Structures are given as structure tokens and as C-alpha cells.
């Protein structure tokens, strides 16, 4: 029988709008952090961290079109956005059909080239192979998308 994980907490489900409202309540209205955290159901340290982000910005709340940056569980070593990842996935699917499949090394090399062409901030690139070192290009976690999982 398969196991099904039951969440114990509701961490990571606070929306960016709720978080921004709580931050503004503390910064602009002068409420205490603990009081606002208790009332809104946001962890006190999470609220403190976002208050520091809010106070450090010139535009008060707007960061590159997003409010206070990503909220919730967000991969800290994520290189591509969702749209770029979808483009890369489609390109890899087409390449697999043309070349009768790609090895994991070739997939890593294509992902590294795609990141360099899009001026992504990635770790040091090995000049010999052209593949970024210290980047998890599909090995281990997070897992590869379903069409590229190894069998």
C-alpha cells in the first residue's frame, strides 16, 4: 500500500499579498511583530526576514515586478524560470527525437549552454567540457521532468 504524506504545518502557503499586508502593518502602522505574526498566522521569524527585505528596498514592496521576492518554498539553487525550463524541456524532447536519445552528459551540456546564452548566474564553467561545475543538472534531486527520467 503506498504511503501518503500528511502535512503537519501550513508553512509555505502564505500568499505574497498576505505577507506584504502583514509587513506594512508592522512597518507603516507601528504594530509589534509578534502581535501581527500571531494574528496573521505567519511565523515570527519569517515576518522579521521579510520586514528586513522591505526596509532595504527603495520601492517599498516591489522587486523586479514581484512583491518581496518569492514567497514560500522556493529552490535556492534554481537557475531557470518556469518558462525557460519549459522551453528547454521542449528543445530536449525534439533533440531526443532527432538524435535517438541524449545521454545525461549531453543533457547537462545543453542545459549549461542554454544558461550561458540567457546570461544566467551559474557557477564556474569548466572550459574543457563547457559544462558548469557544481550544478545539479538533472542528477539526484530535484528529479528530472517525466519525459527525461532514466529507466
**Residue 41 or residue 148, greater confidence:** 41
**Residue 129 or residue 15, greater confidence:** 15
Model pLDDT, residue 131: 58
Q: Is the pLDDT of residue 80 over 60?
A: yes
Q: pLDDT by residue (tens digit) across 17-76?
A: 899 999 999 999 999 999 999 999 998 999 999 999 888 876 555 544 345 767 777 666
Question: Domains along the chain?
Answer: 16-67 (1.10.10), 82-148 (no CATH)
Model pLDDT, residue 140: 44
Q: pLDDT by residue (tens digit) across 81-131?
A: 888 889 999 988 888 888 777 888 888 888 888 888 888 877 665 545 555
Q: Is the pLDDT of residue 145 over 50?
A: yes
- Give the DSSP letter string of the chain: -------S--TT---HHHHHHHHHHHHTT---HHHHHHHHT--HHHHHHHHHHHHT-SSSSEETTEESS--SS--TT--S-HHHHHHHHHHHHHHHHHHT---HHHHHHHHHHHHHHTT---SPBPTTT--BTT--SSSSSSPPPGGG---
Model pLDDT, residue 64: 42
Model pLDDT, residue 27: 92
Amino acid at each position: 500500500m503506498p504511503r501518503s504524506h500528511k502535512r503537519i504545518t501550513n508553512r509555505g502557503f502564505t500568499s505574497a499579498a498576505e505577507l506584504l499586508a502583514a509587513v506594512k502593518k508592522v512597518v507603516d502602522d507601528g504594530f509589534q511583530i509578534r502581535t501581527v505574526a500571531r494574528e496573521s498566522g505567519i511565523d515570527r521569524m519569517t515576518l522579521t526576514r521579510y520586514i528586513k527585505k522591505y526596509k532595504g528596498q527603495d520601492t517599498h514592496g516591489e522587486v523586479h515586478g514581484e512583491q518581496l521576492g518569492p514567497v514560500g518554498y522556493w529552490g535556492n539553487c534554481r537557475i531557470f524560470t518556469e518558462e525557460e525550463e519549459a522551453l528547454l524541456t521542449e528543445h530536449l524532447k525534439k533533440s531526443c527525437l532527432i538524435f535517438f536519445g541524449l545521454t545525461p552528459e549531453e543533457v547537462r551540456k545543453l542545459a549549461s549552454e542554454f544558461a550561458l546564452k540567457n546570461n544566467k548566474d551559474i557557477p564556474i564553467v569548466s572550459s574543457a567540457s563547457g559544462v558548469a561545475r557544481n550544478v545539479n543538472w538533472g542528477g539526484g534531486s530535484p528529479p528530472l521532468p517525466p519525459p527525461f527520467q532514466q529507466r
